[in-house]
Chain A
């Protein structure tokens, strides 16, 4: 769910930049630490970022008539944790704006917040919770990706509703309208993305189980 370039009023665009910036900075600090400890992760992170971009560039076969793109942020969050996923998402969103004209520069802050912060955090929490209650990896991945996508869509609706409140009814009324319009495509898409991410994970585990072990995805949930 990208918000188009220039659609947000300048005040709100600046507001979302201010909210997203500290999280991304925190992600960069964590990233520096990770790279210092394990230098080999850098190229693997690059692969994950490029993977998210390429997934979004391939057009999904349309389900509801609209063409949408899997975000791939769920996978990033499950593999690397939400802080680092937010840095990856920022870079991927920048490339999406400049290579595909999806999203934009002024709305980058808002898009990073919905797709790079809220989505991954929800996906990560859902994944960890599912693993704690002993659900299978693939089921956990499905719920994480689907709910992460859904959280992203709710966040985008909130962002639009805050920027364009209805005159009578205000924020709530406006939120209801945006959420209903998006729900038509987003509810099936979230399920679709969940299925897709789970199947991707299935292939990866089948062929290269050592990768997922290395990233602590398939290992049993340990209380941290």
Chain B
């Protein structure tokens, strides 16, 4: 089980300013979602891959595996929209007696939304692969989200890693005993795992709570926040970069 967070805490950029990374990925994401031509998202796609793999040194093989799902989804959307979402006929094919007509306008519409999707996914991957969750909690705090929401997120964050390890251990043990050998066995084994996981985590949560209570837990977890400001050079460079993308989007015809 490989979580993106494992890379986020250990890559070439994990010590860089969290705020800068978030600004970079979120601004680019917005530009990508609002773009109207196919060129800008594809440009973002390439740039983000270069930055994530080349600069942050995320293994290329792992990165490509992550991209397979969105690419597959994109292909299905592309085919579906080309055949069903336009009126201007392009070419037609016969499958089992049905005539399917591809449409030009459907294809161009599909191309833009698929491109936007791919560009945005690489922006998200940049954020997910380079920025540790602790930095994101700081941002959520800065955005004045309700304290209970942030605190619950922190507790869930901690519990995820505790439970994941336990779940993996149980899964290995089940596999050793032919737990997932067929479908009905799989349902049985998985539900047993999940049920046990719930009970054990419930127990451990109760114990943690007692431990916290005996240390004067009053409902808030206070964290020391280190938050260096974003450098001016970076900010200017970033705004320039986004403006170039927006300019490209304007001059390239749809």
Please give the residue numbers on chain A whose beta carbons come within 8 Å of chain B beta carbons, in ascending order.
4-7, 9-10, 13, 28, 31-32, 35, 39-40, 42-47, 49-51, 53-55, 57-58, 60-61, 63, 87-88, 91-92, 94-95, 97-101, 104-106, 164, 166-168, 173-174, 177, 181, 192, 195-196, 199-204, 207-208, 211
Q: Indicate which residue in B34, B106, B163, B192 contacts A10 across the interface (CB closer than 8 Å).
A: B34
Measured CB to CB, the nearest residue on chain B to A91 is B153
Q: Indicate which residue in A60, A97, A204, A208 contacts B128 across the interface (CB closer than 8 Å).
A: A97
Is B85 a contact of A164 with CB atoms below 8 Å? yes
Q: Indicate which residue in B4, B81, B149, B194 contacts A99 across the interface (CB closer than 8 Å).
A: B4
Smallest distance from the beta carbon of A101 to chain B beta carbons, Å? Answer: 6
Smallest distance from the beta carbon of B162 to chain A beta carbons, Å? Answer: 8
Smallest distance from the beta carbon of B171 to chain A beta carbons, Å? Answer: 7
Q: Indicate which residue in B119, B136, B183 contacts A6 across the interface (CB closer than 8 Å).
A: B119
Residues of B within 8 Å of A98, CB to CB, are 4-5, 124, 127-128, 133, 136
Bound Cα distance from A91 to B85, whole angstroms: 35
Find residues 87-117 in chain B having any chain A CB closer than 8 Å to their own CB. 87, 105-106, 109, 113, 116-117
Whether B229 sits at the interface, judged by CB under 8 Å, is no
A6 in contact with B148 given A44-B202, A166-B84 (CB within 8 Å): no
Is B77 a contact of A7 with CB atoms below 8 Å? yes
Q: Indicate which residue in B1, B136, B155, B197 contacts A51 across the interface (CB closer than 8 Å).
A: B197
Bound Cα distance from A10 to B112, whole angstroms: 13
Whether B80 sits at the interface, judged by CB under 8 Å, is yes
Is B124 a contact of A105 with CB atoms below 8 Å? yes
Work out how many contacts link A and B, with CB atoms closer than 8 A: 214
A200 in contact with B113 given A5-B121, A54-B160, A54-B167 (CB within 8 Å): no
A42 in contact with B80 given A4-B73, A13-B33 (CB within 8 Å): no
Given contacts A4-B70, A58-B193, 17 further A-B pairs with CB under 8 A are A5-B29, A7-B120, A28-B149, A43-B155, A46-B205, A50-B163, A51-B163, A54-B160, A57-B164, A91-B152, A91-B153, A94-B153, A97-B124, A98-B5, A106-B29, A164-B113, A196-B191
Whether B157 sits at the interface, judged by CB under 8 Å, is yes
A101 in contact with B152 given A6-B29, A49-B159, A200-B198 (CB within 8 Å): no
Q: Indicate which residue in A39, A49, A201 contacts B156 across the interface (CB closer than 8 Å).
A: A49
Bound Cα distance from A54 to B170, whole angstroms: 13
Bound Cα distance from A181 to B160, whole angstroms: 32
